[in-house]
Amino acid sequence: MMRRNNKKNRILWLLNHTTLMEWEVPMLIDLGFEVFVPKHLPTGGNSRTATVTDFYDSTLTTPTDDLHQLNNINFYDEPFTKKTASLLNDHFETVISAFHFPGLYYLLRAFNGKIFMRAFGHAGALDYESATKHIPSNSLNVKSFSTTFARIGRLHANILSRLPGSNRIRYHNKVMHEMVRARKRIYLASAYEEIISHERKFLKARSVFLPLAVPQVMFDKANCWNGCDNRVLFICPNIDQIEYYKHIYLTFKKHLGDMPHCIAGKQSLSGVKIPGTTRDPAILGYVPQETLDRLFRDCFCMFYHSQEPRHLHYHPIEAIVAGQPLIYLSGGLLESLGGIDQPGMCKNYAEAREKIKCLQQGDITLRDSIKSSQKKILGHFEPAYCSDVWKTNFLPLVRDKTR
């Protein structure tokens, strides 16, 4: 007999991000949820920091046959069938999903429960509603399964788009059409409050702040830095596969490349057959976590390039946890989180170069000032703080009809 009584406490977690999974999934389990994690990864750049595990299957009370079927579904790239939709709607009331297409499009069409669309920030000035305009229409299978409930809602969305004045809800593409239809049960689950303030009216009204924490396994390695390696640690993946990172790499080499340095970061992408042509002995490529931990511990500083105001990588946070001095550029999310008086922050590459030189030459005052001040940034990623925010912001939304 199908056990549906746990449906309200079961979450379909469609992200697979390795570091995110290490905190967010156990946190959800601690909050009393069963959690399903997919067994198929997305193709392309979204697989770069992803992993597959069946570890959390033990939390599930779904029938064995149904769990087997769920484990065979590609939630990221393949259209949902009627059978897939039935499995999801039978066993789940809540999905936490990557803002990844075409998978999210198929989910919006087929799932009747609440959908939390995880947002970690786009590059530049792009907001999430505007980002939907850049999804190629031919990448979306409009014949993918759509529930009867969804078809009725889609008709209502068409009516709303024709209303006069302030009651009109406008949308300009297939994805926004589905979001408007599902507007009463979708949320933009933003990892940073800066994302919410930047959104347009429709998704801003449906945004919820759900921060991401540094997993405890990282804090277990706190304050291990010794600085015995005179190289600057820089992380830049997929230099030859992604133009965005190619530009970052070339800019770093132009301004800081004559200093001793090493460059970590995976240089291949699943499903992308672009050969690596950059020949640079400083590029380490993918390194296992043990080696990365050693680089955090030994390299005398890290340089972080990003000036994105609404996005942040994990590695500068890992560096801060380790106690490694972090030199970074102003104008990005680190400035927002750490404040304007961080001694490791630099207005340009020239200032970064000067501070790196000072650290190389043994400026203990600067080193200790950076290490002490940058701890302020960690407060935004503390597991206890983030868990409390989830309890306040997430639980009322998923349990408003179950209590």
Angstrom distance (rounded) from CA 350 to CA 60: 54
pLDDT exceeds 80 at position 14: yes
Burial 271-293 (b: 16+ CB within 10 A, else e): eeeeeeeeeeeebbeebeeeebb
pLDDT digits (tens, 9 = 90+) for 226-279: 999 999 999 999 999 889 999 999 999 999 999 999 999 999 876 666 767 899
pLDDT digits (tens, 9 = 90+) for 338-397: 999 999 999 999 999 999 999 999 999 999 999 999 999 999 999 999 999 999 999 999
Average pLDDT, the chain: 91
CB 12 within 8 A of CB 36: yes
Q: What is the pLDDT of residue 2?
A: 42
Name the band, by pLDDT with cuts 50, 70 and 90, for residue 147.
Answer: confident
DSSP code for 79: P
DSSP for 268-300, written as a single string: -BTTB--------TTEEES--HHHHHHHHHHEE
Question: Domains in the chain, ordered, with CATH?
Answer: 7-213+383-398 (no CATH), 216-380 (3.40.50.2000)
pTM of the model: 0.90
Measured CA angle at 125 (ends 123, 131), to 5 deg: 70
Q: What is the pLDDT of residue 18?
A: 86
Instruction: List the strands of the sheet with 283-285, edge to edge.
Output: 283-285, 261-264, 229-235, 299-304, 326-329, 345-346
* pLDDT, greater one: 333 or 268: 333
CB 97 within 8 A of CB 104: yes
pLDDT exceeds 80 at position 8: yes
Angstrom distance (rounded) from CA 294 to CA 233: 11
Strand boundaries in 20-139, DSSP class E: 34-36, 94-98, 114-119
Name the band, by pLDDT with cuts 50, 70 and 90, for residue 157.
Answer: low
| Residue 51 Cα distances to 46, 230, 244, 246, 270, angstroms | 11, 32, 23, 24, 12
Angstrom distance (rounded) from CA 349 to CA 69: 52
- Could you tell me which residues come within 8 angstroms of residue 75 by beta carbon, excluding any fewer than 6 positions away? 12, 14, 38, 40, 103, 107
How many beta carbons lie within 10 A of that of residue 72, not counting itself?
10
Among 225, 377, 368, 372, which Cα is nearest to 295's? 225
DSSP code for 26: H
Terminus-to-terminus CA distance in the chain, angstroms? 25
* pLDDT, greater one: 147 or 285: 285
Angstrom distance (rounded) from CA 280 to CA 261: 11
- 39 by Cβ neighbours in 10 Å (0-12 / 13-18 / 19+) ranks as middle
Angstrom distance (rounded) from CA 26 to CA 24: 6
Provide mean pLDDT across the span 128-136.
94
Q: What is the pLDDT of residue 3?
A: 47
CB 42 within 8 A of CB 100: yes
Provide mean pLDDT across the span 310-320.
96
